[in-house]
Structure 1
Amino acid sequence: MKFSVLGPAGTFADAAAKAYLATQPDSHVTFDYHPTFDQVYQAVSGDNIGLLPLENQLDGYVSATLQRLQTADVTEIGEITIPVDFGLVANVNQLSKINRIYVQFKTEGQCQKLLSKLPSVQIITTSSNMVSLEKFRSGEPGDAAIIPQSQLAEVSSALKLNNVADQLDNSTRFIIFKANPATAATLSKVVLSTNQFKAPLFITPATNDRPGTLYEILGYFAKVGLNLVTLMSMPTKAKLGVYSFYIEVSGNRDQQEEIFATLKELASNYQVHLLGYYAV
Structure 2
Amino acid sequence: MKLSVLGPAGTFTDAAAKAYLKTQPGTTVTLDYHPTFDQVYQAVCRDNLGLLPLENQLDGYVSATLQRLQTADVTEIGEVTIPVNFGLVANVANLNQIKRIYVQFKTEGQCQNLLSQLPSVQIMTTSSNMISLEKFQTGEIGDAAIVPQSEMSGLQFPLMKNHVADQDDNNTRFIIFKNQPANLDELSKQPLDTNHFKAPLFVTPSFNDQPGTLYEILGYFAKAKLNLITLMSLPTKTELGVYSFYIEVSGTRDQQEEIFATLTELASLYHVHLLGFYAV
Confirm or deny a common fold (TM above 0.5). Answer: yes
Question: After the TM superposition, which residues 1-280 of structure 1 pair with which residues of structure 2 at under 5 Å, given as runs?
Answer: 1-45=1-45, 47-280=47-280
Measure the CA separation in 1 of the matches of 2:209 and 2:48. 39
3-state SS of paired residue (2:39): helix
Could you tell me whether the CA contact under 8 Å between 2:104 and 2:126 is conserved in 1?
A: yes
**Number of residue pairs aligned between Structure 1 and Structure 2:** 280
Measure the CA separation in 2 of the matches of 1:193 and 1:47. 25
Q: For residues 101-146 of structure 1, give each alpha carbon's deviation from its aligned partner in whole angstroms, at most 9, with x where no partner exists.
A: 0000000000000001001111000000000011111111111000
List, as ranges, runs of 4+ consecutive aligned residues in structure 1 with deviation greater than 3 Å.
Answer: none
> Structure 1 length normalisation: TM-score?
0.98
Letter in 2 for 1:199: A
By how many angstroms is 1:268 displaced?
0.7
3-state SS of paired residue (1:65): helix
Could you tell me whether the CA contact under 8 Å between 2:129 and 2:148 is conserved in 1?
A: yes
Q: For residues 57-78 of structure 1, give each alpha carbon's deviation from its aligned partner in whole angstroms, at most 9, with x where no partner exists.
A: 0001000000011111110000
Instruction: Specify every segment of 5 or more residues in structure 1 that has no aligned partner in the other structure, as ranges.
Output: none
Measure the CA separation in 2 of the matches of 1:227 and 1:194. 17
Could you tell me whether the CA contact under 8 Å between 2:198 and 2:277 is conserved in 1?
A: yes
3-state SS of paired residue (2:216): helix
Measure the CA separation in 1 of the matches of 2:237 and 2:45. 26
3-state SS of paired residue (2:218): helix
By how many angstroms is 1:50 displaced?
0.6
**RMSD between superposed Cα atoms in Å:** 0.9
Q: How high is the sequence identity, in percent, across the aligned residues?
A: 77
3-state SS of paired residue (1:113): helix
Measure the CA separation in 2 of the matches of 1:203 and 1:101. 40
By how many angstroms is 1:48 displaced?
2.5
Could you tell me whether the CA contact under 8 Å between 1:2 and 1:30 is conserved in 2?
A: yes
3-state SS of paired residue (1:44): helix
By how many angstroms is 1:274 displaced?
0.3
Measure the CA separation in 2 of the matches of 1:21 and 1:190. 21
Could you tell me whether the CA contact under 8 Å between 1:46 and 1:180 is conserved in 2?
A: no
Measure the CA separation in 2 of the matches of 1:110 and 1:56. 9
3-state SS of paired residue (1:255): helix
Could you tell me whether the CA contact under 8 Å between 2:207 and 2:242 is conserved in 1?
A: no
Measure the CA separation in 1 of the matches of 2:136 and 2:20. 30
Instruction: Specify every segment of 5 or more residues in structure 2 that has no aligned partner in the other structure, as ranges.
Output: none
Could you tell me whether the CA contact under 8 Å between 1:85 and 1:149 is conserved in 2?
A: yes
3-state SS of paired residue (2:120): coil
By how many angstroms is 1:47 displaced?
4.8
> Structure 2 length normalisation: TM-score?
0.98
By how many angstroms is 1:208 displaced?
4.1
Q: For residues 1-22 of structure 1, give each alpha carbon's deviation from its aligned partner in whole angstroms, at most 9, with x where no partner exists.
A: 1010011111000000111111
Measure the CA separation in 1 of the matches of 2:108 and 2:143. 16
Letter in 1 for 2:2: K
Q: Which moved more, 1:226-235 or 1:19-28?
A: 19-28
Letter in 1 for 2:74: V
3-state SS of paired residue (1:150): helix
